[in-house]
């Protein structure tokens, strides 16, 4: 599977990134790298579930 995301980093406060992850299903704001990785993981899981349904 191949996934395409657009990540916009709008700030770097407290030594961590903040911004928006844009996917085919919408925009997902994040306040740190962990939230970004979680949003990417959730998006990949949701897309995989659509393929297998």
Annotate 9-50 with three-state secondary structure. Answer: EEEEECCEEEEEEEECCEEEEECCHHHHHHHHHHHHHHHHHH
Is the CB of residue 16 less than 8 Å from the CB of residue 33? yes
Q: pLDDT (tens digit, 9 = 90+) per residue, 5-53?
A: 999 999 999 899 999 999 988 999 999 999 999 999 998 888 777 767 6
Q: How many whole angstroms separate alpha carbon 51 and alpha carbon 33?
A: 27
Domain boundaries, the chain: 6-51
Cβ atoms within 10 Å of 12's Cβ, excluding its own? 10
Q: Name the pTM for this structure.
A: 0.82
């Amino acid at each position: 599977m191949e996934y395409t995301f657009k990540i916009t980093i709008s700030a770097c406060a407290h030594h961590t990134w903040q911004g928006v992850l844009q996917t085919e299903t919408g925009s997902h704001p994040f306040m740190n790298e962990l939230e970004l990785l979680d949003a990417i993981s959730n998006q990949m899981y949701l897309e995989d579930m659509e393929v297998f349904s």
